[in-house]
Structure 1
Amino acid sequence: MRRRARTLVFLIGAVALLGVAVLAELRHERALALDPLTTLDLAAVKRIEVDCMGCVARHYEKVDAHWRQRDPDAPADEAMVERLLAIAHAPVRVRHAAGDLEAAKVGLAPPFATLRLDDTELRFGGTDAIRGDRFVAVGDAIALVPDRFSAWLFKAAALPGKE
């Protein structure tokens, strides 16, 4: 076999192997979606509060099927609200009882951010050193979830007329 043909066979094999790896990861992510962080009915949520270290607290309220930002009172960025709500259904990789982990060691004492959806409170800690998953305390459990949402927790509220 000539050199060019060998290189082509090698590249085709590498692409096939990467394709299989991508399909396996997608299958794994779908399996994770079966265990969401909470079982909240997101359509029923009426209030959202976001508190985080080093940023201004944000409050949102659903009024007549539309989200409004409070302090200052203005229409809310619907995409931001939807992303904040989606955090409640983030896929859980691992779930621990609260007593199994030291809250201070995983960044939950005090938490970096807190998200309240009506009466449900999610407290966000540090990230896992190996996978980069975020520690999230909900009730009496601490879960590790893929960290795809931190930017939305720390994003500043939109000011009226400055969107």
Structure 2
Amino acid sequence: MAGHDIKAYHPGSEVVSANSIWTATGIPERGPQLIAEVHDGFPINYLESLASELNISAPVLAGHLGMSRPTLHRRLKAGRLSTKESDRLHQAAQVLTSSTGLFEGNQAAAWIWMLAPQLALGGMRPIEMLGTYVGAEAVRDLIGQLEHGVCV
């Protein structure tokens, strides 16, 4: 389709189920509470809860978010993430929610997809791209394209 650009996918305010990542982890999805908590730094239990939901360890998830083990150790002692780390964790939860939506609520299928190399992402695994805004946006764009039947 020469001359037609694929538009970036921007998640809307879709209805989330009661057993969503947001409910299971306690991470606020949006609104004033989210803004305040990101600013103050999420409690470390949000990272631990999301890792538990994904059946991986907190250090593995932290690594995918660009956090070193010594930094994670300091955050565990302090009980809070930094503002930037909180923002990345929320971004990861958004991507995971979108991938679950791609698989019609099947979190296991979404997680398998997140761990598999994707040709449309240059052979990278979506989970490996969650440490940066640009990487997470690329994953969200791919999810949107797949949801809309765009051949990628």
| TM-score normalised over the length of structure 2 | 0.34
Q: Which of the two has higher C-alpha Rg?
A: 1
| TM-score normalised over the length of structure 1 | 0.32
Structure showing the higher strand proportion among its residues: 1
Structure showing the higher helix proportion among its residues: 2
Q: Which has the higher contact order (CA 8 A, sep 6+)?
A: 2
